[in-house]
Structure 1
Amino acid sequence: MIEVNELTKRYGATTAVKNLSFTVRPGLVTGFLGPNGAGKSTTLRMILGLNEPTAGSVTVDGRPFRDRPRGLRHVGALLDASDVHGGRTAAAHLAALARGNRIPRARVDEVLREVGLTAAARRRIGGFSLGMKQRLGIAG
């Protein structure tokens, strides 16, 4: 379960998120909608511990996500499909994620197959189309 309580994020004089509270219950598909600049990405970054809130709190299954040493065992997130090292191969990128999260190396081949990137596993990500990067992000 994700619990967001009175979350606020300011960047200088700009308030990106103000007093946001919500709960995402397990087993439900939850949409996060709003216009550009509404604070959706900022909120997701705070949930994942990538940005520190100015005020408020966020927990995933009762504790801050950044306190989990093996995050991919609990949450999968794709914020920007192009935010990958273009010089790495798809397999190397996923292998690094797996290694850092103590996920068996065999899982890399499984997820590449699931997203239809087996044939591109040894190609450098920098040459991928946006759709291929998105599928790689989902595999991650």
Structure 2
Amino acid sequence: MIEIERLTKRYGATTAVDQLTFTVRPGTVTGFLGPNGAGKSTTLRMILGLNTPTGGSVTVDGVPFARRPRGLRHVGALLDAGDVHGGRSARAHLSALARGNRIPLGRVEEVLAEVGLGKAAGRRIGGYSLGMKQRLGIA
């Protein structure tokens, strides 16, 4: 469960997220919609421990995500499909993530096949289309 209570993020005089409160219960699909600049990405970055809130709290299954030593064992997120090392292959990229999160390396080939990238797994990501990068991010 994701619980957000009065979450706030300020950058100087600019308030990006202002006392946001909501709960995402297990097993539900939840959309997070809003116009550009509404604070969607900032909120997601705070959930994942990538940005520190100015105020309020956020937990994933009762624990701040940043305190989890192996985050990908609990949560998957795709914030920017293009934010990958273009010189690496998809297989190398996912293998590094798997090793760092103590996920069995056999899972890499499984998820590459699931997203339809099995045949392109050895190619450099820099040559991938946006759609392929998005599928890699989901993997």
TM-score tier, shorter chain, comes to over 0.9
Structure 1 residue runs of 4 or more that deviate by more than 3 Å after TM superposition: none
Aligned pairs, how many? 139
The aligned residue for residue 34 of structure 2 is: 34
| Amino acid corresponding to residue 86 of structure 2 in structure 1 | G
CA distance in 1, matches of 2:66, 2:88: 25
The aligned residue for residue 13 of structure 2 is: 13
Secondary structure of the structure 2 residue equivalent to 1:9: strand
The aligned residue for residue 96 of structure 2 is: 96
CA distance in 1, matches of 2:88, 2:51: 26
Deviation of 1:13 after TM superposition, in Å, equals 0.9
- Note if 1:67 corresponds to 2:63: no
Deviations 1:7-65 (A, max 9, x none): 00011111000000000000100110111100000000000000000001000000100
Secondary structure of the structure 2 residue equivalent to 1:6: strand
Secondary structure of the structure 2 residue equivalent to 1:35: coil
The aligned residue for residue 126 of structure 2 is: 126
| Amino acid corresponding to residue 35 of structure 2 in structure 1 | P
Percentage of matched positions with identical amino acids:
83
| Amino acid corresponding to residue 134 of structure 2 in structure 1 | Q
| Amino acid corresponding to residue 19 of structure 1 in structure 2 | Q
Gaps of 5+ in 2: none
RMSD between superposed Cα atoms in Å: 0.4
| Amino acid corresponding to residue 106 of structure 1 in structure 2 | G
Secondary structure of the structure 2 residue equivalent to 1:21: strand
The aligned residue for residue 47 of structure 1 is: 47
CA distance in 1, matches of 2:10, 2:120: 41
| Amino acid corresponding to residue 127 of structure 2 in structure 1 | G
Gaps of 5+ in 1: none
Deviation of 1:101 after TM superposition, in Å, equals 0.5
CA distance in 2, matches of 1:28, 1:104: 27
